[in-house]
Chain A
């Protein structure tokens, strides 16, 4: 127990210290984790065996692909098919062949060279996607192309795992078999043990069909049932269960768990629970991925590295140059331009975490000798370690150059700003209808599963989720949104939402509903642009009818009411400056004084005393006469 706690303490401590420092220095979180790993591993020697933890941490990659899938609707995936197969297929194919040729030129056998080619053709999904997301480059052309390639690679791992055993070297087979037994993989549960090829295929197809059908038909009633319990942690547990269950199923039938969860994500991308799922899985993914990067850093064998420093560094740089060259060539064929071209070229020029998997698999299957594999492992790790540096090159060297060349172009706004509407009660509905009716895109969030369900059936796309959770707001597109409407009943949460949104996006326009005066001040302090008191306008209308009922001319009533509303707004603005949430209003002396003053002014303005605020009375006064 203490051992476990100590390990957790060390890992968390390293992450908590290293990552903010790295981010502050503009290095990105991935490099922070890697450095943290190096410090606690090779440098301080606080953690020894990283392999067992790495297996857990690899689950972060699985979760990441689930989240990536959630972002991708099936339709989007279909439109990507050309890039996915063309760009991805060519990248893997050409890189494999070139690495293989290089290996053979260095005197390796063709089968060893081919295996190395396969290992090195892959890039790091974990590092690249994490970094692209962090930098907000995922939606760019370069980001999308990189993603297509990474997705193809993740799929390509499966046939590679099937191919590698066929490359076994006779002289290594005996040794390899031992390694295999030691590896303990034979003891793992499997549904396909002893099945013939076509039977395996049937089982595989059945498993994928189960994921797709289950995601499509079962998830909705299931999540609605779970949501009805209104317990956040149970929903989180359900989301985790979903990912774990699919990963488990995929491993059972010998498929990649990453691929399976990605598929489940795509199926669920249309679900109204998408944003909630996203924000539930997100922290786990983040932590596990972080752990994964730490283990990569901690696992670097410095002794081996120093003994072969020149060789390893030379190989790493050679590999990265070769991968970059292939990517650059592809970027010309697929017409990527400017920043996108360089982003694509630089971001994928490393070996990836699947390289570790393939390498150990190759060793087990007697394809690559162990000492060579250890060396290659260092190359993979080093290239991953250098990736954040490539992103820094992109940020600091490529982008400024391009800016210089082209002059700084204004951002092109090609679609109407999206609006996030929190709360689809009576209030939010009206806003949503008006915005949608005028062609603005809205993302609607609500915490009532019944409401969400009902509105989706009615035809308004609504997502289930607690909008006061920052991560959910981000999942709903806070970064791209131009407008945030906060119309939820829970005022304390509303204030939190406004505070957070204002902090994250200073130029966002925020319209918030206040239930009462107290929250008008709170929302004002939190940074809302327009604050609407929920009952004020209807009360004003009722007052209008009351005056008209007394026979005051409707046009006169209109003017009086306009002045009243203006004065009231002005008064609230003045009071908001004096309001202090720490002091109850009745004990806040300046506030009370101002309130009395304003009240008096308003009364005078509306009374028949022409000396004060006679705007109403001045209007249409005949020439030469005085106001009554």
Chain B
């Protein structure tokens, strides 16, 4: 695997792109990264008519599956949920014979409106972000995917005003490249609750 670079599929879901500050930039950097296929789900399926065959083929063609989305009511935007409901079919992704995507990596890339302190017991949202993403994590588990902790930008609107966003975007680029080239220490990452631009456990770029 180390010799052969991983192919990455970023499923990007944001219905209100006219207001997006962070996600639109994240999508841009992903699109520019070699080895990454970025799918703007809301552009491809504006009327929610998801082409299941195409989407399943995309999964088969890639080694890393990324859900990139803003957190809406502790969950994904509606179209990305619809995508899960339709594409992760019994017999394909889980259940009898449903091993078609087992062994691939799965990474959520999440932006939130609230700051980090909201996402803890006793905070405004009362749960750590990782706990709120339990349904997605378990979905990945059931499909035999290896779950990588969410690459997270808290308080995305505020971050857009200071350096936080720029750092996050730059980190996203590094993150994707590391995933592609197998330089992300998956075991070290698994120790963390969430990943941020500052905590990415990335090995040094191999010298030629």
Contacts and interface: CB of A to CB of B under 8 A. Distances in A.
Q: Which of B14, B15, B17 has the most CB of A within 10 A?
A: B15
6 contacts: A554-B44, A556-B17, A556-B18, A558-B46, A620-B14, A625-B157
A555 B18 CA distance: 10
B164 interface: no
A622 B43 contact: no
B46 A620 contact: no
Contacts of A620: 14-16, 19
Given A621-B16, A622-B157, A553 B43 contact: yes
B47 A558 contact: yes
Contacts of B15: 555, 619-620
Nearest to A553: B17
Contacts of B113: 622-624
List 5 A-B pairs, minimum CB-CB distance, nearest first: A620-B16, A555-B42, A558-B46, A554-B46, A555-B46
Contacts of B17: 553, 555-556
Interface of B: 14-19, 42-44, 46-47, 113, 157
Main secondary structure of the interface of B (DSSP, over half): loop
A625 B18 contact: no
B160 to A, nearest CB: 10
B19 A557 contact: no
A553 B17 CA distance: 8
Contacts of B157: 622, 624-625
A376 to B, nearest CB: 77
A553 B18 contact: yes
A302 to B, nearest CB: 79
In which size bucket is the chain A interface?
Answer: 10 to 19
A231 B31 CA distance: 68
A553 B19 contact: no
B16 A619 contact: yes
B205 to A, nearest CB: 35
A621 B42 CA distance: 16
A557 B16 CA distance: 12
Nearest to B18: A556
A591 to B, nearest CB: 35
Contacts of A621: 16, 19
Nearest to B72: A620
Contacts of A557: 46
Given A555-B15, A555-B42, 11 more contacts: A553-B43, A554-B44, A554-B46, A555-B17, A556-B17, A557-B46, A558-B46, A620-B16, A621-B16, A622-B113, A625-B19
Interface in A539-592: 553-558
Contacts of A622: 16, 19, 113, 157
A554 B19 contact: no
A617 B17 CA distance: 11
Nearest to A561: B46
A558 B16 CA distance: 12
Contacts of B46: 554-555, 557-558
A621 B72 CA distance: 11
Nearest to A616: B18
A560 to B, nearest CB: 11
Contacts of A625: 19, 157
A556 B20 CA distance: 13
Interface string A608-628: 000000000101111111001
Nearest to B44: A554
A554 B42 contact: yes
Contacts of A555: 15, 17, 42-43, 46
A452 B166 CA distance: 69
A619 B46 CA distance: 14
A332 to B, nearest CB: 59
Nearest to A623: B113
Contacts of B18: 553, 556, 617, 628
A554 B16 contact: no
A375 B154 CA distance: 107
